[in-house]
């Protein structure tokens, strides 16, 4: 499926006999998938790095109190 002589084909058929239309459809799907991945990677790079977990203010909030027997002892232990 190349126009240049001596160039390697993009796809090789291992079994079966696909038609030209089937190979064209496969080529279109692969090209669209690669373009979408490239576009998603560019959008992620443009967005910048993910925010640091150190900036998460929710980590500073206290967990709810759980009243009950020996609650004062359990309050000092990690959840």
3-state helix, strand, coil in the chain (%, to 5): 50, 0, 50
Model-wide pTM > 0.95: no
- Share above pLDDT 90 across residues of the chain, in percent, rounded to a whole number: 28
Structure tokens at 61: 């909030």
pLDDT at position 78 is 66
Residue 3's SS3 state is coil
pLDDT in tens, 38-67: 999 999 888 888 788 888 888 778 777 777
Give dist(CA 26, CA 13) in Å, integer. Answer: 12
Q: Are 27 and 10 in contact (CB under 8 A)?
A: yes
DSSP designation for 55: G
């Amino acid at each position: 499926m190349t126009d240049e002589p001596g160039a390697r084909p993009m796809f090789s058929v291992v079994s079966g006999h696909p038609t030209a239309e089937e190979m064209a459809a496969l080529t279109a799907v692969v090209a669209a998938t690669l373009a979408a991945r490239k576009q998603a990677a560019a959008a992620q790079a443009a967005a910048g790095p993910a925010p640091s977990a150190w900036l998460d203010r929710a980590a500073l909030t206290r967990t709810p109190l759980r009243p009950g027997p020996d609650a004062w002892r359990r309050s000092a232990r990690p959840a």
